[in-house]
Chains A and B, each alone.
Chain A
Amino acid sequence: MRYLLTLIGEEGGREDDMTPEQWRAAMDPWNDYNRQVLDAGVFVAGDGLHPSSTATTVRLAESGDQTVTDGPFAETKEQLGGFYVLECVDLDEALDWAKKVPIRPGGAVEVRPAMDFSEFGYLDPYAEAASAR
């Protein structure tokens, strides 16, 4: 089964004035985690995202009008900071990986099962993309 892990937490925004040591201390755990999910063969996709101030949101109104605005979907203290898509046997395995994500204290990892469209006879984009490569 495929699971989406969304990493949610307060945004740091102090990356600019980090010393090289601080940068390494912040980044090494993520590098380790990436290495672990790759070695375990569960990694499908994943990214760390730039701060939500760099986001642009496209909205579709009930009327059908589209608008483009600066900023994230919701202006909240806690923001989506990154994500992983992992292929796991079951929820227990997904939760084990979620517990290992090196988020900062106060953060959270939401684990959601992904729908498998191929079950309904539709295209499986993951399989298609893999075979295209």
Chain B
Amino acid sequence: MATLIRLLGDFDLAEEAVQEAFAVAMERWPSAGVPANPGAWILTTARNAAIDRLRRERRLAEKRELLGRELELEEKEAEVDDFPDDRLRLIFTCCHPALAPEARVALTLRSLGGLTTPEIARAFLVAESAMAQRIVRAKRKIRAAGIPYVVPEGHELPDRLASVLAVLYLVFNEGYSASSGDSLVRRELCAEAIRLGGVLAALMPDESEVLGLLALMLLQDSRRDARVDGAGEMVLLEDQNRELWDGGEIEAGLQLCRRALALAPAGRYALQAAIAAEHARAAEPSATDWARIAAMYGVLEMAHPSPVVALNRAAAVAMAEGPERGLELIDELVSEGRLNAYYPLHTARADLLRRADHAAEALEAYRGALALATNDVERAFVERRLRELGGG
């Protein structure tokens, strides 16, 4: 109690907080067990309760002020309402350059994509606790530093664009390959990303990367119905029934891709769209120009080096030059160690080992992938491969 009063500098507050802590203890200890150091537990809980109370009181005062500011804000918005989409406006705000790039993306996914913190953590390949902290810190900075919730002015738009595009693509990806749950495709997330991308493309029709991203998302989305079979299992690109591909989306995607590439220099999204376009143009898997795709991944890797792009290039090289050559590139990545918790690295490696007739090593790689699979569809896919190899 004395410690708490010293910490808080307020007797009443300390007393109330301790009472609150004991109430929590009475509720929790019978089922969860008494903690190793009950005194310290009470102190910590009481301190947290007091901090919460202080924050609540402070917030009340802030709310009154905020209300005034919001009214003011609404008046301003009524004057210059040239941004037709509220959600887009919020994306730009969450992508304020005063926030760390990772925080911008995380915050936008939380407030616009409606994703949970664990989902965002998986999308970023970071620990859940680290992601939670990142989001809390970002929100705290927005409030403390006075980052405004307003539409960025014209001259600020280009600066914020790169981050906005990254956010949209992550939302799309989260919907395209949901990392938890039993549904591989969450239509609404993909549709939302495409919708926002469309609004952005209408507003900035001369930005190559805006068009490129929209093209990329459309071309990937066009394969959605073919990616999962009737039993809900994942179907690889080469095994997909191309009749099921969405012709309308492909056509729109190819057209946007052409426009994006005409506005050179091609950035990362335009290049990825061009790669997706190669697949979309091939009427059957054997018609795919893998050498061209591998070369485009090479360009992409040079301009924007990333282990994920390197993995994709390795897969393309394997198709163009044979599995052994692809394995060499993948093993380089494995030795770097950065992607070792990344499920697709292990399935790609296992697949190449299988094609190269290294059955035992392939089995081992698939088992590694199984341990890292984060949803039922991925698990079912790996289990099927294991059975086929006689190791299930």
A102 within 8 A of B: no
B147: chain A residues at CB < 8 Å are 90-92
B231 within 8 A of A: no
A89: chain B residues at CB < 8 Å are 146, 148
Known contacts: A91-B98, A95-B98. The answer to whether A119 contacts B150 by CB under 8 A is no
What residue of chain A has the Cβ atom nearest to residue B98's Cβ? A91
Interface size, chain A (Cβ < 8 Å): 14
B155 to chain A, nearest CB (A): 11
Q: Are B148 and A92 in contact (CB under 8 A)?
A: yes
B390 to chain A, nearest CB (A): 62
B144 within 8 A of A: yes
What residue of chain B has the Cβ atom nearest to residue A1's Cβ? B146
Which of A91, A113, A120 sits near B148, CB closer than 8 Å?
A: A91
Which of B58, B61, B145, B150 sits near A113, CB closer than 8 Å?
A: B145
Q: Are B146 and A91 in contact (CB under 8 A)?
A: yes
A94 within 8 A of B: yes
B13 to chain A, nearest CB (A): 13
A107-133, CB < 8 A from B: 111-113, 119-120
A-side interface mostly: mixed
Q: Are B146 and A113 in contact (CB under 8 A)?
A: yes
Q: Are A90 and B148 in contact (CB under 8 A)?
A: yes
Q: Are A91 and B150 in contact (CB under 8 A)?
A: no
Interface size, chain B (Cβ < 8 Å): 11
Which of B58, B61, B62, B145 sits near A91, CB closer than 8 Å?
A: B145
Q: Are A90 and B146 in contact (CB under 8 A)?
A: yes
A111 to chain B, nearest CB (A): 8
Q: Are B58 and A120 in contact (CB under 8 A)?
A: yes
Q: Are B61 and A119 in contact (CB under 8 A)?
A: yes
| Docked complex Cα distance between A120 and B116 (Å) | 34
Q: Are A119 and B146 in contact (CB under 8 A)?
A: no
| Docked complex Cα distance between A88 and B61 (Å) | 20
Encode B40-67 as 1/0 by CB contact (under 8 A) with A: 0000000000000000001001100000
| Docked complex Cα distance between A21 and B62 (Å) | 51
| Docked complex Cα distance between A88 and B98 (Å) | 16
A94: chain B residues at CB < 8 Å are 146
| Docked complex Cα distance between A119 and B66 (Å) | 13
B145: chain A residues at CB < 8 Å are 91, 111-113
B148: chain A residues at CB < 8 Å are 89-92
B150: chain A residues at CB < 8 Å are 90, 92
The 5 closest A-B pairs by CB, nearest first: A90-B148, A90-B146, A1-B146, A113-B145, A91-B146
28 contacts between A and B (CB under 8 A): A1-B146, A3-B146, A88-B146, A89-B146, A89-B148, A90-B146, A90-B148, A90-B150, A91-B96, A91-B98, A91-B145, A91-B146, A91-B147, A91-B148, A92-B147, A92-B148, A92-B150, A94-B146, A95-B98, A111-B145, A112-B145, A113-B144, A113-B145, A113-B146, A119-B58, A119-B61, A119-B62, A120-B58
Question: Measuring CB to CB, which residues of chain B are less than 8 angstroms from any residue of chain A?
Answer: 58, 61-62, 96, 98, 144-148, 150
Q: Knowing that A91-B147, A92-B147, A92-B148 are A-B contacts, what are 15 other residue pairs whose CB atoms are under 8 Å apart, sorted by A's residue number?
A: A1-B146, A3-B146, A88-B146, A89-B146, A90-B146, A90-B147, A90-B150, A91-B96, A91-B98, A91-B145, A91-B148, A113-B144, A113-B146, A119-B58, A119-B61
Question: Measuring CB to CB, which residues of chain A are less than 8 angstroms from any residue of chain B?
Answer: 1, 3, 88-92, 94-95, 111-113, 119-120
